Each structure stands twice: as structure tokens, then as C-alpha cells.
Amino acid sequence: MGLLNSYSQIFFSKNKILGILLLLVSFFDFWTGLGGLLAVLVSNQTAIWFKFNKLNVEKGLYGFNSLLVGLGTGIMFQPSLASLFLLIVLAIFTLFVTLTIEGVFTKYGLPYISIPFILVMWTANLAMSDLWYIGVSQRGIYFYNELYALGGQNFVDFYNWISSFQTPASLRIYFLSLGAILFQFNELAGIIIAIALLFSSRIAFTLSLVGFYVAYLFYQLLGVNFSELSYTYIGFNYILTAIAIGGFFFVPSRWSYLWLLLLLPITVILTFGLSKFFSYYQLSIYSLPFNITVLLFVYVMKLRTQTRNELVEPIEQRNAPEENLYFHKNVSERFPSAFYLPVYLPFLGEWTVSQAHAGEHTHKGEWQHAWDFVITDNEGKQFQNKGDFATDYFCYNKPIVASADGIVAELVDGIADNIIGDINTINNWGNSLVIKHSDYLYSQISHLKQGSFKVKKGEFVRKGQMLATCGNSGRSPYPHLHFQFQATPFIGSKTFFYPFAHLIKKENKYLELKTLFNPQQDERLQNVASNNLLLQAFHFIPGQVLKFNTVKNGSELLFEKVDDFSKIIENEWEIRTSIYNVSYFYCKKTNSSAFFKNDELLFQFINFEGNKNSALYFFYLAFYKVQLGFYNGLTIEDKLPQNNLFSQKRMIFQDFVAPFYLFLKAQYKLNYLSVDDEFSPEEIKLKSEILSFSFNKKIKQISFEITININGIRSFLMK
Amino acid sequence: MKLKYERPVINKINAGMPDKYGMKVQTKAITEIDGLKISNLIEKFGSPAYVLSQQTIENTFTEVKRAFTNRYPKVQFAWSYKTNYLDAVCRVFHSLGSWAEVVSGFEYRKALNNGVEGKHIIFNGPDKSKGDLILAIEKGSLIHIDHFDELYMIMELTEVLSQRPKVAIRVNMDTGIYPQWDRFGFNYENGEAWNALNRIMLSGKMELVGLHTHIGTYILTPNAYAVAAAKLTDLAVNINRKYNHKIKYIDMGGGFATKNTLKGAYLSGADTCPSFDTYADAITSAIVNSEISPEDLPTLILETGRALIDDAGYLIGTVLANKRLADGRRSTIIDIGVNMLFTSFWYEHEIYPAKETSVHTEDTTIYGPLCMNIDVVRAAIQFPLLQKGDQVVIKRIGAYNMTQWMQFITLRPNIVLIDTKGETHIIRTAETNDTFLQHEKIPDYLIKN
């Protein structure tokens, strides 16, 4: 458990193949490899026994430091019973150090990287003078002996053949440095690791080169002899720093790459300085410069008061730079906030924004995140007749409703309507309401009509419940509704940015669904209505099993739902909820999961993991985003993460340049075709499409014809 | 320009003595409709002619829709066919999102022909034949049951039809206004409504989808709607309580007043007609304030006819002659008679000259062209001094006149629709003698050889 991950974690990855290759490479020196392997097994098993966080064991987080210690010990000592025992002791020691350091660092939101390994190795090194009798190994120095032991004369010849290539010295040092990570001091190990790294992640591979050569150039600039690196192999510090900063702790972007230009020289200086210091104690600095640079930078970046888009930490660490990038881009656009409480428009029917955020009249400074709403006719006029009286205004005396469930926290009534054009600067907010939706979310509604309140202070109100009617009180020259979100319960509190969950925007008779939307000036808006049939069809209950039959018809695939629970069907998906409260469909047969979110008005898939030929994958594509109200002719659009759609082959080149430019694009479209009956709908037809683009040229199109009836999702036909 | 000749009149001077409505005002002329000159319209389409303005229809519809949708989450309009079932007019309303409300097999088929889906047709009225009902059930239309005999017939039909009829009952009730319309539907107060509902629910053969009422016509008291809406929601709440069945819609019918003045009314219609907002407020408040929870609120259906189309219709015509009556009053004969202005039996229609006139007016009786004593368009009106050949416009005649008209003595004229771009379209051509020849049959023995 967690064995291979413990290997791949060295490169912050969870790639199984990378793990296997690293495991193999570590056995170039058999005893070193064995030492590493034993240390991981002991450490992981101990962690499971003592019931430490099982997920971390699985991810290899408790294994990789022990692995490094195991490799380091393995190469240091001759195999013997005593050294075996020493290894076990050190492995468990490393685990304890890991856990302790994790406990301290986690408070600061910091990773512990290979600090435990360094501490344990130093301890072991310092103690070594007393451990001579175990037998210190001379391996790693007489490298050909090891090769010969491993693969005979042929292997030695093969190695010589590879070495005979005219490669620049720097590249050789690069390979040696890579190999040194696993205590394998030869180029072949480095080459295999490089290939494994390239296979597991194009970005990580690129970064390893970038890191190494930035440091190389800095050496040149300083006039330091770079070949010094070939002796100490300490160059891996630069490689790991580049991968960690450029692609792991931050979402890969041109900014994360640019930062390396500054951070690598820092690492170089650290390497020089620390080497001097530790050589006094006859200690190697191992990966200390890399650890210091990464911890320093990650910590410093956490202190930013505002996270700029340039350099962001991934929303969810997926242990692969590419996935971090694609997932982050997709999710941060679709779900900008993890802790969003849905709020809706505070009125019925269609209203128009007369002043948006940072508006020209009053939405300034601390009150800039507010909206004014009015009702307008087709020509954009707000009133009939001459507009001399409040009653001429279309919005006047229209009901105002709660934008979400909550408690009436504050209520002011008794301020008379102004005559048109006049303003009341003494009671500038007019008749107002503040509703508490959560501890940090309040909505304020102002300029209401005197005596129109239908609720009392302290009363619990439901979303959509009528509160009062629109008036013309306070600083309101003509009737309008002032609406804002704030963090405190007082009338006139400072506002903050908080968008509406979903709404329908009307533009030239076309309806557009907007999610997490901040209404802008002059936009015509209305709330989203839901459809019972759709609500039912997309209400999935944990434990529920969906069964779909696949019927193949030429190039078309028809998936039909089977309601018979006793039958065993090709595709069976169970609805589960993860410990992070995320629901997902799980297909046991293909070991695939499709994560989704349903906030009662919108069903959305968050991500898909697993087999891309499974029916569940097509299900994920077909229902990527479904609004649960039926609007004839409404089109919904969204973007899919590249890695969930394009083939591995297509992705390779994209991966290399992904931090700079995404030329592959995947678009999702959903059309609402027909409903048989508005009052008691029994059948709804939808059509979804997945369009793939390369450099804005359409390369592929998949469409799904969807039928939904009283039994839920009836079928979807893939073309 | 040469001044227009006006005949001399002698009027009592009452300047400085305004009555309670203020000074007499000059009768304004209506010289154009949606930017098109009346004279040109008459030249092109003949006199008389009906003119409908699509722009006015759309504006009025938007106004009514806004009044309701900004107060209630689910609102649906159904175009009352009997008010004006010219296909073009119906299609304008359908294009604006209106469903169809019909009261006969003829209207039902007309709606189908206008491309309205069966499920969007509301079938009202006391006269639904067996054939009509079968058609409506099969098309999934909403059948509003008017009487027990209809209910029984639907029950019988459920035995042979596979479709489950979607029904509602029409309820009549005391809403505090006179006259109380009790001839349609089932009475609320005497328990007939519950009797019908129980039978529907217990039969299990129909789906009770809605409740319908239509409290009357030209209702000037919005509160009557509030009472009606409250009574219907009360029924809906109790049906849910008793049968655990949720009513999907409440249909408040129509009957909103227009600015036309009723005969015998003390004040002019323009002053007494409540705004759409007032009606909407009364109806929606009653439903929202009921026991029904916000998420279960039924759809509100409105079958407003008159108030949506009246303002969009104009009759344009020509003065045929002037006459002095026995009592000395003046009379003017125009080519628009009560046969094409049926509503003149209950409205004091506003008639305007199509050209500017002088300030002088005379108490005038306006007659139609029919050789029939009842053909009086206005019994008494302060009217400018028009002469033969001058053109007149009668305003606000869009409702009922194009359906309740009579072919009597003269033929029905052209009906013209002005679209939103100002283009004119004949949507019903003037009748000719051939129109009648087509339908008439002469027995052989009356045909001279």
C-alpha cells in the first residue's frame, strides 16, 4: 500500500509507471535499492499499524522520506543483520520525524518535503563514526563493478555505448544529478529517470531541464566551475526546486516559470553557503537548499493579502502538474469559490440594473459592491406618463423577495416616499431590511415603501418569500431597489463582492443562463425557474444504483436506463459521497468516478477520473451541465478540462506548452428541445454537444440526444 | 391653404362658467394611426375599414405581463379567441407567448390551425360536443368543465379513450359585485363546486389540473378579483388537504375593464378604469397570502381579452350626410353602422374627426348607414361640424367587434393590420356579393330557365 506512490512522490507525483521505473532504477545498486524498498515497507506498515492517516500512506506521503533514508543508508553500509536492523530503526525514526514535522508545518499550511530525510540522514551521518563496525560500504565509487553484477559484460558495454555519445558535459551532469536523487551515481540511472519523468509529466520534465540550466547559467555568470556539480551531484536541488515551484505547489504558468529565474539563483547561493557551513561538520547538505527555497517561497506567497491570478496554488493537489493546470483552470472558472452559499435575485419577473458595482452615482468606496434595480419597458423607459409620480414607475410597489433563506436582522420602516427628483439625505437608506443568511453573509435591501413590510425583525424568511414592496424612500430620487451583500448586520454596512448563483439574462429576446454572475449596467435579469421532472431526474441519492444498457447501432451508441434492480446490467453506477462531501458516480467495473454537484437549480459534473471508454465517461460528457428548469430554446455552454477530453497523443504537445498557451479547447453545449406538458411534464428532450477545437479549428464533435421522463434519465444516444 | 368650410352654428355662450369637468375642450382629431394617414388608409382600403395596430397590441401585452410577472413567479396568458379570433390577431398573441382560450369546437379548431399545441389550448364554455371533447382529450388540452352533464360525458369518454383527460372546473361565486355571474360553472357558496371536485377526484379517471373562474366582464372593482382568487386558492388548499393533490394552475379568466365608457356611466372610462397593476396586485396578493407554500404556488393563468386588444382597434369611415332632426338637433350619418360596431350597444364610443377642425361643436346624434331605426352610433355627442366626405375615426374598438359583427344590409369591410414596422396588411378582405353566393342555394323550382 502506497509503495509505488512513495517512489513517485519524490517527484511530487502519484504516477504508477514513474514509481515502477524509479523502483527499478534504485536497484541498479542492489543493496541500495533493497534498503530503500525495506525502509518504505517498514515505514508504511508502521503507519498503518499505528493508524496514522491512511490516505497519506496511500499517497506515499509517509513513505518517501523513509525511502530516501533507506537508499542513503543502503549505500552507506555493507549488508548485514546489524545494518538491516539499523535500517528498520531509521525507517521508523524517519516516520516519526515526518509525523512530527507534519504536525508543526501543517499549522502554517506548509509541506514538509524532504526535511525529515535530511534530519535523519544527518543524525545517521554524525553517528557513523561510532558505527564503523557495521561496515561502511565503498559502493557507488566502483561503479562498473555494480553494473557488471547487475547485467554482466553486456550491460557494461551498453553503458559504455550510451556514454560514448557526444553529449555536452552539462547534460551529463544533469543525468548524474537526476540519478543522485536515488543515490544512483551514474548517467544511465539519470537517463531512465529523465525518461520516466517525461512519461509521467511533460511539464515536470521541462521544468527539470529549466531548473538545471538556469542554475547552470547562473554558475557561468558567477564564473564558478560547474563541473564541481558533477562531483557532488548536488544539482538535483535545482531540478527539484524547479519542479516544486514551477509545477507543483503553484499552478504551472508563465509566471511560475518566470519565478524560477529568481529562485534558482537563490538556491545556488544557498547551496554554496550551506555547503561551507556543513562541511565543517563533514555533513552533506543533501536536498537542504531545495527544501529551504521551496518552504520559503511557498510560505511567503501565502502571506499575500490578495492572491493574484499570476501565481496561484492549485485548488486541489492532484500530484501532476498537467492535471493541476487543466483542473485548476476549469474549476476556478466554473466554481470560483468552494464555500459559496447560493443567493438569487430579490424580485420576481424581469428587472433591469440601473446602477451596477462601482456605479457612477452612489456605489462608491465602501459601498461599491451594490446594485440598483428598476423595471423598464421594451424601450428601456422606467415609467409611464411623464414620470412625475412614484406610481408612474413600473417598479414602484412591486414585491421584493428574500434572495436566500435567513433571519430578518434589521428593519427600518416609517420613512415616507420622496417626491420624484427629491432625495432624503438624513435617512439616506430609507425603509430597509437586512437579512442574515449566514454568519458572514447579510443582504441589505433599501428604499422600500413605507408600511409595505410583510415580515418582522427576527422572523425567519424563506428564499423567494415576499418581504416588502419597492418604494422611493431615502436617498432615492426615483423608485428603485438598492441591493447589496455585506458581512455585518447593520444598515449601511460595508459591501463586499458576492455574485448571484444563477440567473437568466435576456438580451434581444435571447435568454442566457448565467452562473455566479455579477450583473452589469442595463442588463435585464430574471430568476431561474425549476422544472419538477428535471429536479426529480437529477436528484441522486447516495447508495442509489443507476443501470444503463448499451445498444450499439453503427457508429451510434444508445444508453438506456434499466429500472429492474434484480437484473445485472453492463453499466452499473453507484452514487457515493466522499469524505469531502463531494458526490460522485462510481463504476466498479471500470474503476471510474464522475464527481458532480447539484445545487437544486443546476447539475454539474466537476471532474471525471478513470476509463475514458466507459459508459460513465459518456454520461459525464452528456450531462456536464444541466440547468434544472425548462426554457424552450435555452442554450447552456461550458468548457471542459482538456485532459478529460483529448487523447493522450494530442495532449503531448499541448502539455509542453500548456503553462503558456492552451491551443486545445473543449466546449460543452446543451440545448433544451421540447417538453410535452408544462403543468405535468412527462417527457423532456435535450441535446448536448461536445465540440473540440485545435487552434480554434473544430476537430471533433460528439452529440447526445437525451430523453428524460418520470423515471429519470431515460436514455441518451451518442452520435 | 384654403380654409375648410364649416356650417354656421348658434351656441349658447357659457364661457367663464365651466361645469365640474372644466371647460369644454376642443375635440382632437385622430389624423393618423401608427404614423399612417387616415386619408391614405381609406384611399387604399376603402371606407369603412377596421385598422389594428400591432404595436399597440405588443405594448399593452408587455404592460399587462409586467404587472403580473413582477408580482408572481408563474404567469401564463391565454388569448381569449372570442374577443377577436382573426387568425392574424391570434398569431400575434401566440407569438408573444399567449396560449389559446376557446369556447367552441369552431374556435378550438381555429386554435389548432393557428399552430397552437393541444396542451396549450384551454377549452371553456357550456357547449362542447362529444366530438370536440374527444379531440380535446386526445390533444391533451385543458378542459374547463362547465356543468355536470359535461362531467358525465367526459367520464363516459374515459371508458373508451386511452388518454387521461386534463380537467379543471369553472367556479362561480359571490365576489361582492352585481350582477353575479352564476350561469357558468359550479357555484362555490352552495357547495356545487365541491360536489364536482369530489366526483372528479373520486372517479380517478381524470387529472384535475386547475381551477377556473370568470367573475364577469368589464369589472371596475379589483377587489372582486381578490375575493375570487382567495376563494379559488381556498379550494386548492382544501383539495390538497383532502386528496393530497396539488392544483397546478389557477385561471382567473378575464373581464378587466378598458377605457371605453359604458352607457349610463357617470364618469368617463378613462377616469374609472383601474390600472393593470391594481388588478395584478389584487389577484397575486390573494394567492401569495394564502396557505399555499411558495414552492407549490400554482401557475396563474389569465384569459384577458378585451383589455389586451380594445385599444389596438380603430374603425375608420366617412360622413355620408348631415341632417336636422325634428327637435332641432343635428344628426350626422356615417358609413359605420351598429352591424360592424356591435359594442355601441353598451359603450359611448369615442368618435374623432380625421382632420383638425375648429373649436366649434354641436350636440349631434351620429347614425349609421343602415335603414333601421336602431342604427345609432352615438345618441348625443358634442361633435365638430363635419360635412359629407369628411373622415371619422372610432377609437378602441378592437374587442368583440370583429367577432360579434353582423352581416346586415351592408357587407363587412376590409380589416387591416399595421405591423410594427408600419407596413399594412389586409388580414380579412372585404366581403362581396360573391361571398354570399357561395353559401346560398336556390331550389331548382325558383331558377328561371
pLDDT tens digit string along A243-265?
A: 999 999 999 999 999 999 999 99
- Per mean pLDDT, which of A507-511, B50-54, B265-269 is the most reliable? B50-54
C-alpha grid cell for residue A492? Answer: 449601511
Closest C-alpha among A415, A414, A378, A373 to residue A396: A373
Q: What values do phi and psi take at A55, rounded to 5?
A: -60, -40
* A677 contact residues in B (CB cutoff 8 A): 119, 140
Nearest CB to A394; choose among B59, B66, B166: B66
The amino acid occupying position A386 is: K
Helices (H), B12-147: 38-45, 54-69, 87-95, 105-113, 130-138
Question: What's residue A689's pLDDT?
Answer: 93
Instruction: Please indicate, yes or no, whether residues A491 and A595 belong to a single structural domain of this protein.
Output: no
Instruction: Please indicate, yes or no, whether residues A705 and A567 belong to a single structural domain of this protein.
Output: yes
Indicate if B85-304 has the same CATH topology as B32-52+312-431. Answer: no
Cα–Cα distance, A470 to A448 (Å, whole number): 5
Cα–Cα distance, B316 to B336 (Å, whole number): 8
Say if residues A694 and A663 touch (Cβ distance below 8 Å).
yes
Say if residues A33 and A189 touch (Cβ distance below 8 Å).
no
The helix or strand, by DSSP H or E, that contains position A649, with its residue range, turns out to be helix A648-657
Residue A181 lies in a domain: no
Instruction: Please indicate, yes or no, whether residues A280 and A428 belong to a single structural domain of this protein.
Output: no
Nearest CB to B248; choose among A529, A676, A680: A680
Say if residues A115 and A69 touch (Cβ distance below 8 Å).
no
Pick from A405, A526, A528, A677 the residue to mutate for testing the B interface (most B CBs within 10 Å).
A677
How many other CB atoms sit within 10 Å of the CB of residue A545?
Answer: 12
Q: Report the chain A residue with the minimal C-alpha distance to residue B284.
A: A399
* B70 contact residues in A (CB cutoff 8 A): 347-351, 375, 394-395, 398-399
Q: How much is the pTM?
A: 0.78
Residue A402 lies in a domain: yes
DSSP A494: P
| Cβ partners under 8 Å of residue B384, min gap 6 | B6, B27, B353, B357, B358, B360, B361, B362
Inform me whether the C-beta atom of residue A679 falls under 8 Å from chain B C-beta atoms.
yes
Pairing verdict, β B330-334 and B361-367 = parallel
Say if residues A649 and A328 touch (Cβ distance below 8 Å).
no
CA A535 to chain centre: 28
Cα–Cα distance, B35 to A183 (Å, whole number): 92
Question: What's residue B423's pLDDT?
Answer: 95
Residue A371 lies in a domain: yes
Q: Per the structure, how many domains does chain A have?
A: 4
Residue A522 CB-half CA count within 13 A = 7
Closest C-alpha among A232, A235, A259 to residue A245: A259
Q: How many Å is the Cα radius of gyration of chain B?
A: 25
Q: Report the chain B residue with the minimal C-alpha distance to residue A530.
A: B295
Nearest CB to A462; choose among B73, B207, B294: B294
The reply to whether omega before B73 is within 30° of 0 (cis) is no
Cα–Cα distance, A424 to A432 (Å, whole number): 14
Is residue B20's pLDDT more than 80? Answer: no
Cα–Cα distance, A674 to B120 (Å, whole number): 14
Domain of residue A589 covers 532-718
Mean pLDDT by 10 residues, chain A (719 residues): 88 90 88 91 93 90 92 83 89 95 92 93 82 57 64 72 73 87 85 92 94 91 76 82 93 92 93 88 88 95 82 85 89 80 91 91 89 89 89 91 94 92 90 94 94 93 91 92 94 91 86 88 90 88 89 86 79 89 91 90 90 91 91 86 88 90 92 82 90 91 92 88
The amino acid occupying position B96 is: L
Task: State the CATH number of the domain containing residue A228.
Answer: 1.10.3430.10
Is residue B21's pLDDT more than 60? Answer: no
Instruction: Tell the CATH superfamily of the B85-304 domain.
Output: Alanine racemase (3.20.20.10)
Residue A194 lies in a domain: no
The amino acid occupying position A354 is: S
A677 Cα to chain B: minimum distance (Å) = 6
The amino acid occupying position A58 is: E
Say if residues A267 and A215 touch (Cβ distance below 8 Å).
yes
Q: Taking residues B266-288, what's their average pLDDT?
A: 90
B324-379: pLDDT as tens digits? 999 888 899 999 999 999 999 989 999 999 998 888 888 899 999 999 999 999 99
Distances (CA, A) of B404 to A82, B83, B262, B343: 113, 9, 18, 9
A632-690: pLDDT as tens digits? 878 888 999 998 888 888 888 899 999 999 999 999 999 988 888 777 788 899 999 99
Domain residue limits, chain B: 32-52+312-431, 85-304
Pairing verdict, β A583-587 and A592-598 = antiparallel
Instruction: Please indicate, yes or no, whether residues A285 and A427 belong to a single structural domain of this protein.
Output: no
Closest C-alpha among A109, A191, A188 to residue A143: A188
Q: How many Å is the Cα radius of gyration of chain A?
A: 32
Instruction: Please indicate, yes or no, whether residues A709 and A650 belong to a single structural domain of this protein.
Output: yes
B146-199: pLDDT as tens digits? 999 999 999 999 999 998 999 999 999 999 888 888 889 999 999 999 999 999
Which residue among A455, A484, A513 closes a domain?
A513
Instruction: Please indicate, yes or no, whether residues A155 and A208 belong to a single structural domain of this protein.
Output: no
Output the CATH code of domain B32-52+312-431: 2.40.37.10
E-strand stretches of A329-412: 351-355, 370-374, 399-401, 406-412
Cα–Cα distance, B396 to B201 (Å, whole number): 44
Residue A362 lies in a domain: yes
DSSP A565: S
| Cβ partners under 8 Å of residue A626, min gap 6 | A534, A538, A602, A603, A604, A636, A670, A686
The amino acid occupying position A578 is: S
Longest dimension (CA), chain B: 79
Which residue among A117, A145, A166 closes a domain?
A166
| Cβ partners under 8 Å of residue B147, min gap 6 | B126, B185, B186
Nearest CB to B62; choose among A378, A462, A680: A378
C-alpha grid cell for residue B244? Answer: 393530497
B446 Cα to chain A: minimum distance (Å) = 56
Residue A161 lies in a domain: yes
Instruction: Please indicate, yes or no, whether residues A312 and A370 belong to a single structural domain of this protein.
Output: no
Longest dimension (CA), chain A: 104
Instruction: Please indicate, yes or no, whether residues A503 and A536 belong to a single structural domain of this protein.
Output: no
Closest C-alpha among A124, A130, A132, A90 to residue A284: A124
Per residue, what are the HEC states of B347-409? EECCEEECCCCCCCEEEEEEECCCCCCCCEEEEEEEEECCCCCCEEEEECCCCCCCCCCCCCC
The mean predicted confidence, pLDDT, of chain B is 91
Instruction: Please indicate, yes or no, whether residues A123 and A206 belong to a single structural domain of this protein.
Output: no
- Residue B15 pLDDT class (50, 70, 90 cuts): low
Angle between helices A115-128 and A64-76 (to 10 degrees): 20
- Residue A488 in 3-state DSSP? coil
**The CA-based dihedral angle spanning residues A176, A181, A186, A188, taken in that order and rounded to the nearest 10 degrees:** -90
Cα–Cα distance, A564 to A672 (Å, whole number): 29
Q: Which residue has the higher pLDDT, B293 or B218?
A: B218
Inform me whether the C-beta atom of residue A535 falls under 8 Å from chain B C-beta atoms.
no
Say if residues A603 and A531 touch (Cβ distance below 8 Å).
no
Distances (CA, A) of A212 to A233, A260, A272: 12, 10, 16
Nearest CB to A679; choose among B72, B248, B288: B248
| Cβ partners under 8 Å of residue B245, min gap 6 | B201, B208, B239
Residue A587 lies in a domain: yes
Instruction: Please indicate, yes or no, whether residues A540 and A662 belong to a single structural domain of this protein.
Output: yes
Q: Taking residues B48-64, what's their average pLDDT?
A: 95
Distances (CA, A) of A185 to A567, A652, A677: 59, 30, 74
Inform me whether the C-beta atom of residue A453 falls under 8 Å from chain B C-beta atoms.
no
| Cβ partners under 8 Å of residue B12, min gap 6 | none
Question: What's residue B57's pLDDT?
Answer: 96
Question: What's residue A231's pLDDT?
Answer: 62
E-strand stretches of A578-633: 583-587, 592-598, 602-609, 625-627
Say if residues B254 and B304 touch (Cβ distance below 8 Å).
yes
Inform me whether the C-beta atom of residue A373 falls under 8 Å from chain B C-beta atoms.
no
- A464 vs B73: CB contact, 8 Å cut-off? yes
Q: Which residue has the higher pLDDT, B49 or A183?
A: B49
The amino acid occupying position B52 is: L
Cα–Cα distance, B415 to B313 (Å, whole number): 10
The amino acid occupying position A499 is: P
The amino acid occupying position B273 is: C
Cα–Cα distance, A108 to A514 (Å, whole number): 37
Q: Taking residues B224-242, what's their average pLDDT?
A: 95
C-alpha grid cell for residue B308? Answer: 389586451
* A347 contact residues in B (CB cutoff 8 A): 70
Inform me whether the C-beta atom of residue A460 falls under 8 Å from chain B C-beta atoms.
no
Closest C-alpha among B358, B260, B268 to residue B311: B260
A466 Cα to chain B: minimum distance (Å) = 8
The helix or strand, by DSSP H or E, that contains position B209, with its residue range, turns out to be strand B207-213
Which residue among A288, A305, A334 closes a domain?
A334
Cα–Cα distance, B56 to B64 (Å, whole number): 12
